[in-house]
Every structure is written in structure tokens, then in C-alpha cells.
Structure 1
Amino acid sequence: KKGKKGKKKGKKGKKGKKGKKGPKDLTPDRTMDSLIKELVDKDILQLASNFSVQDFVGQHRNLDMIERKALDPTPPEASLAQIRQAVVEQLILPLGSQAVHEKAPFVNKALIYGPKGCGKTMLSMAIARETGSNFFNLSARNLDPGAPGSGRTKYPDKKGANSAVMMLHMVFKVAKALAPSVVYMDEVEWTFIADKKKLKSQWPGEKPPSRFLKDFLKEVKFLKEEDRILILGNSRRPFFAEKGDLKKMNTFFKDFKLFIPLPDYPSFQAIWRSLILRNKGVITDALDFQTLAWITKSAGYTPGAVDAVCKKVLTQRRLQRLPIKPLSHSEFLPHLAKIDPIFKEDYEQFMAWNLKNNPQGKQEPKEKKPKAEKAKAGKKKK
């Protein structure tokens, strides 16, 4: 009897191999077209906005590098040009090119975080557009079913055809079949928050986003190296997830975290120029870009604030009058004063979180490890 029990245990141990085959197909009788139609109707499979990586304007931090003190222990912020380069090399190229995907290291989970208006959504849309990817929006707010009678019917059930399990199955089945694909999650911290008190007091939706997490993680586990799928999380307050919730989020996005800082002075000059032209403005000598860049940099404004101001100033009526009255930098300042900047204490919170939770943004003390190893070696000799 003991021998037979031992054999049965041995058979149970082989269950791990079955898991590698992939998830069970919950929709074997449905065509790919019908799955795509449902995801489009539910506003989950979307058309990404027409942004290019070149729209993420920014320069290298040459001035900052000169001004930095030699003994400053804090690592420098990445420049916007470096961020653009990192996105192209580590996310866009491996996702968009099958040849690069097969030969180069590939990241399939990435977290982009920073203050509101710094360009996270633009970069996410640009990644999808540049790679020709399908864009699946699994953001917490987009998946909320809404209150009864609201008209929203986004998979409120726990089981069955109108459940989260079925929705996630369809998303990943279509994403694999139509790769490359981007699975986008805005305000991704909400998906990882299981704290009931925090959800009850601060989540604005009808049902907690964490109800998707268990099944979502299961689907992600079944992704293979050859699957050209990128799980792309955005967050404007990653520090909102705490303790166990934060640990889950950090573990999930451990391979790639990218902090987008506020632009520096040269970047703001380039941003003002780019956004005025994008909003059909005309640049003349009457525009003092140095003043505009200095004010936005010193006050702590974001590119999103600059874009909002440009849209306010460059109305159809104002564009018609440009040949008679050229644009002046003084026209933008009253509108800029009505927008709240990113306050110093809020930005410092981002910096502190980045140093603590992001390996790429953390300067490790290299001397401590060898000393610890020497101490262990000394004890062994004794």
C-alpha cells in the first residue's frame, strides 16, 4: 500500500508539465471575428491615438551634468532624450520586429510612472502605433461595470460569459493571435490594491479593480517567450499601493520601470516650440522661448500643462489674426497661471519612491557586498 501511495504521489508531481501546454480554451466554438467584435463593442480593443515617439520632445541634460556636484550621492534623473531612447530600444524594437524579438532580450511587462501630464499616455500610444500593435485597454476605470442602470455592462459577473475570467481569456487569445499587441493599464496601482478600507473610501468606481488580478496574473503566466505581447502599466501615483500591494506590483514589473521626470530648461524650450507648431501657431521673433521655458521649469509645470495652454491661446479666431498680430509669450502667461504646477513636496515623493523601488534609478553602494563576503570568508578560515 505504501508503495502504491508513493507511485501516486510521483504522478501528482508531474502536473507541472501539463501547465506548460497553456490555458484551457473557454471559447472553442467562437470565431476570432466574433471575439474581436465583442472586445471592440465593450471598448476594450481600441484604436491607439496617432502619436509618434518623436512627439515625446526632450533634450539631453547637458547643463544639469555640468552643475551637479562631484560628491552628490543621489543619481541624476534621466533626460527626456534618454527616456525616448530607452523606450525605442527596449520596448518598441523587440515588440515591433520579429527578428529583434528572437535575438535580443525582450521585456513583456513595463511600468511607466511620473506626474500627471508628463507624457506617459503619449508614450504608451506611441509604442502601440510605432509597432503596429493592437491596443487592449484593461485600465481599472475602463473595466468598471458602473452602477446599476448606468448603461455600462463590463463583465460584472464572477462566472460565465459575462465574467472577468471570460473577458481576460478573450483579450489574451486575441492578443496572441493578432500579435504584436499592447495590453494597456492606466492607473495600474488600483489593480494591485486589495486594501478594502482604501478601496471603499477612495475608489470612485462601482466594483474593486483587484477582482481581476488573480485571473489576470494566471493569463500572464501562460505567456511564452515567442509571444509578442507587452503588458504596459501607467501610474501617476505608484506610492498609493502600500505594503503587500506594493510588493505585488513591484514583483510584477521588476524587469522594467521607467520614471518620467519634469523637463529641464532646454527641453522646455523644445516643448514650447513643438506644441505651438502642433497647434498650428506661427513662430516669430516676438516669442521669447527663454522666458516661457524658465517660468515653466522653475514653477514645476508639465508638458501637459503647456499643451493645455497652447490649445487655450491658439483658438481658430486667434489663428486667423496671426498675419496681423504675431504671437507673443505674454499671451500664454495668464492661462498658465490658472493651472496648478507639480508642487515640490509632491515631486519629492516621486523621487523618493523611485530611489526606493526602482533598481534602475537606485545607486547601489558597491563597497558593502565585498566587505560582507570578506567577513564570511574570515569566519570560515577560523
Structure 2
Amino acid sequence: MPRGFPVDDMPLNEYESLIAMEMVAPEDIPVGFDDIGGLEDIIEEVKESVIYPLTMPHLYSHAGPLLSAPSGVLFYGPPGCGKTMLAKAVARESGASFINLHISTLTEKWYGDSNKLVRAVFSLARKMQPAIIFIDEIDAVLGIRRSGEHEASGMVKAEFMTLWDGLTSANVSGLPARIVVLGATNRIHDIDEAILRRMPKKFPIALPNKTQRRRILQLNMQNTKCDPEHFDLDYIAEVTAGMSGSDIKEVCRDAAMAPVREYMRQHRGTGRSITAVNPEHFRGVRTEDFLRRQGGPLIKVKGQS
């Protein structure tokens, strides 16, 4: 159970306790907006339309429920472009309770237990609001309903949508519950249409352009020793076209290994064991380290065979 969870103040039933195991305290999330490169415009819109209404509803009280946080938000786009990272950053920056809901949590072998767990998700979120219910790969949980679908699966989706609709009904304060269902997917067309209607805020997270790739490279390489005379960040940003943020991170990791491989090869030739290493003995990372690695090219440069 996450640190700081107020068990004494809010007794939980059996199913809420199971869901509470999926809860992450905001301060335990290691990702913030500053750690995400190239999504500044989306981050600003997320702040205005989701975080501020969720955490500071008094700023929007003049408009009643009209400017309240949307009950559903969807991040969609190709794999590896930062959708999950952005969701975690939203939870950290907002200070909201973060329920990281997994498919396996709702898939119980006992008929009817899944429905009780769905109810527990929303009842726990009400107790812990402001809260974010995050579902990664939401298409796998709330995909299109089909005629041959198992009855239990259809009941879970119906239960989820009914309780989700209940978030917009006024609570004791006269305002909607401060709970947001946040989903991420790279298969938006596989999500049920009724689910998409409940997610009015949709943010496309596309492959990064050159400016965004440059920022991602800067973030990944900021604590890595680079050779200033042989390191061209703009060129690397150019030749990584078509890569996702996750791909670029792996490229940086492989490039940073090049000086280590060289150091190990040199010492292997001397026959001496490596007991202590002085970081000053490693050369800085160079542009060429991004263009080749053992076993083949790391990045295929345009016009290169």
C-alpha cells in the first residue's frame, strides 16, 4: 500500500483494499513535466484543462460545473512517444492520487468479482479525490463491444461506464467529483465509441519533429560526458527522424556505451583486472557513436547503404 495512504481515516472494504494496492502516491512518481521533451504545447493544455480544474476548482467556481475537470482524457499515438510518461507526470504535478489500473486487476476468475472491483475503483477514487484513474492500453480493457463477446466482459464495460457517468453528478459541494479517468492507447480505433464519448479531451502524441527530438536528446544526454569537438546535437536530431522518444533513448544508451566498450577493450589487452575506474579515463560521447555499434549501424543515415 502506498506511503501516506490514510487507512485509519478511511476504512476500506475487501475490494477497495485490492485496488489500493494499485495506488501510487504522487511524491513516489519519478517523472515530472521537466523530464518530458517536446510536448510543451500539450503539457500547457493539460495544465489548463485538467490539472488546474482538478486541484484548484475554486479558480473556476464562477462558471459552475462548466469548467470542471473532464471526466475522461485520452492520450493516443504511436508506441514509445511518451503517453504513459505524460500520464504519470500529470499525476505527480497535480498531486492527485494515482490509481494505476491493470487489466489483470479487473480480471477475476469468480463471476461477479470483476464488477465489484470496478465499483471499488470508483468508490476508492471518491474517497481519495482529487484522483486519477489511469488505464494504459485502454483498448484492451474497454475495446469495441462485439456480438460474440463473453457476457462477463460486457458486464464489466457496462458497469465501468455507468459508474463513470456518475462522476458528473454533483457531490455534497454541488460540483462534480474531482476524478479523471485517464487512458493511453496506440489503437484508438479499437476503443468502444461509447468510451470515446466519455473522453472529451483527446491529445494526439505524435512522433517527435526535429525540434522535439533535439530536446529529447538534450534531456537524455544532460548528465553524460560528451566530446565538445566531435558532438553535433543538431546533426543527431536530424538523422533520428522517424524515431519515437523511446527509440531515441535507446540510441543514447547505446552511444553512451561506446566509450565503455573502448575502455574495456584496452584493459583486456593488458591482462589486468579492472578493480577501480576513474570516470576521467573515459572519453566523451561523439557523434559517430550514434551512427554505428557492434553488429551493425545504430542509425541509418539517409543515402547510406
Normalised TM-score (structure 2): 0.74
Matched, 1:86 2:45: yes
Q: Secondary structure at the match of 1:222?
A: helix
**Structure 1 residue 209: deviation in Å?**
5.5
Counterpart selection for 2:138 from 188, 198, 216: 188
Query: Is the Cα–Cα contact under 8 Å of residues 52 and 126 in structure 1 kept in the other structure?
Result: yes
How many corresponding residue pairs?
259
**Structure 1 residue 52: deviation in Å?**
0.8
Q: Secondary structure at the match of 2:184?
A: strand
Q: Of the two, which has the highest radius of gyration?
A: 1
Matched, 1:95 2:95: no
Counterpart selection for 1:143 from 88, 105, 110: 105
Instruction: Identify unmatched segments of 5+ residues in structure 1.
Output: 1-29, 59-79, 146-154, 201-206, 341-382
Aligned residue number for residue 326 of structure 1: 284
Query: Is the Cα–Cα contact under 8 Å of residues 192 and 210 in structure 1 kept in the other structure?
Result: no
Counterpart selection for 2:19 from 39, 46, 49: 39
Query: Is the Cα–Cα contact under 8 Å of residues 113 and 238 in structure 1 kept in the other structure?
Result: yes
Aligned residue number for residue 175 of structure 1: 125
Over the aligned positions, Cα root-mean-square deviation in angstroms equals 3.1
**Structure 1 residue 230: deviation in Å?**
0.7
Question: Mapping of 1:1-382 within 5 angstroms?
Answer: 31-32=11-12, 37-41=17-21, 44-47=22-25, 49-58=29-38, 80-100=39-59, 102-103=61-62, 105=67, 106-140=69-103, 142-143=104-105, 145=107, 155-159=108-112, 163-190=113-140, 191-195=142-146, 210-223=154-167, 224=169, 225-241=175-191, 245=192, 247-253=193-199, 255-277=200-222, 280-285=223-228, 286-297=230-241, 300-314=242-256, 318=260, 321=279, 324-334=282-292
Instruction: Identify unmatched segments of 5+ residues in structure 2.
Output: 1-9, 170-174, 261-276, 301-305
Deviates more, 1:217-226 or 1:188-197: 188-197
CA–CA distance in structure 1, aligned partners of residues 299 and 152 of structure 2? 31
CA–CA distance in structure 1, aligned partners of residues 120 and 159 of structure 2? 12
Q: Secondary structure at the match of 1:334?
A: coil
Change (3 A) 1:144 1:256: same
Change (3 A) 1:46 1:81: closer
CA–CA distance in structure 2, aligned partners of residues 217 and 292 of structure 1? 46
Deviates more, 1:92-101 or 1:107-116: 92-101
Change (3 A) 1:320 1:209: farther
CA–CA distance in structure 2, aligned partners of residues 166 and 326 of structure 1? 56
Change (3 A) 1:288 1:220: same
CA–CA distance in structure 2, aligned partners of residues 33 and 52 of structure 1? 32
CA–CA distance in structure 2, aligned partners of residues 173 and 135 of structure 1? 14
Q: Secondary structure at the match of 1:192?
A: coil
- Aligned sequence identity (%): 22
Q: Secondary structure at the match of 2:134?
A: strand
Change (3 A) 1:268 1:209: farther
**Structure 1 residue 171: deviation in Å?**
1.5
CA–CA distance in structure 2, aligned partners of residues 182 and 240 of structure 1? 23
Normalised TM-score (structure 1): 0.60
**Structure 1 residue 294: deviation in Å?**
0.5
Change (3 A) 1:215 1:267: same
